[in-house]
Chain A
């Protein structure tokens, strides 16, 4: 089973809203990731969690706030976003110690109005 699930599939929010994206995996993976992907561009790494601790933050604006409540869950809290933040947000996971293959969820299509 290499399934990573993400909710919601689509999200439309205003610039003053607060919303959260959710990601879940039950593969026993201990590393989880958030990526942002704009149209016709490759995914860009935002955050990496390893054993529930934030290990990489790619200088992402503070209006994006990640959270890893446990080894199976990853959240991305959104607040005061800009229209240019509209993109596909992808979650991925991997075995931290054994392999580095990352498996992606289906993504959340975010539109900021």
Chain B
């Protein structure tokens, strides 16, 4: 069974702080990695994707990938209360089958 693991949280950070979300995966053949944000009662929204080892930055978000360690992370700088949501790590294997982690619930306190 190909697994994607995340800490379920909740993770609580003060407004303006850096939120760090982590994810590990078991399938060494995985090539594509995604972070989705899901507000309660809404559908997942793609916020970052990364395919190569290293860092990828987009505004306040940075995705980090280490394939040797089978680890992917998401950093949110200058966290805002509107960032409060569940963050889903997703990994795509060779059959284009996306597997999600259980999600980490983030709360940003004003």
**How distant is A10 from chain B, measured CB to nearest CB, in Å?**
12
Name 29 A/B residue pairs within 8 A (Cβ), A-sorted.
Answer: A31-B96, A33-B98, A41-B102, A42-B88, A42-B102, A42-B103, A43-B100, A44-B100, A45-B98, A48-B96, A48-B97, A50-B96, A55-B95, A55-B96, A56-B96, A56-B97, A90-B43, A94-B96, A99-B49, A100-B49, A100-B92, A101-B46, A102-B46, A102-B90, A104-B44, A104-B45, A104-B46, A105-B43, A106-B42
Contacts of B97 in A (CB 8 A): 45, 48, 56, 58
The reply to whether A104 and B43 contact each other, CB–CB distance below 8 Å, is: yes
Q: Which residues of A contact B (CB under 8 A)?
A: 31, 33, 41-45, 48, 50, 55-56, 58, 88, 90, 94, 96, 99-107
What number of residue pairs across chains A and B have CB atoms under 8 A from each other?
52
* CA of A100 to CA of B99, assembled, Å: 12
Q: Note all chain B residues with C-beta closer than 8 A to A55.
A: 95-96
B99 touches A103 (CB 8 A): no
Task: Tell me, rounded to whole Å, the shortest Cβ–Cβ distance linking A9 to chain B.
Answer: 11
Q: Are B95 and A56 in contact (CB under 8 A)?
A: yes
Residues of A contacting B88 in the complex (Cβ-Cβ under 8 angstroms): 42-43
Contact partner, B96, options A41, A44, A100, A104, Cβ 8 Å: A100
Minimum Cβ distance to chain B for residue A100 (Å) = 5
Q: Which residues of A contact B32 (CB under 8 A)?
A: 100
CB–CB B44/A43 < 8 A = yes
Contact A42 B100 (CB under 8 A): yes
Nearest first, the 4 closest Cβ-Cβ pairs linking A and B are A42-B100, A104-B43, A100-B32, A107-B43
The complex places the Cα of A10 from the Cα of B43 at a distance, in Å, of 14
Q: Contacts of A50 on B, CB cut-off 8 Å?
A: 96
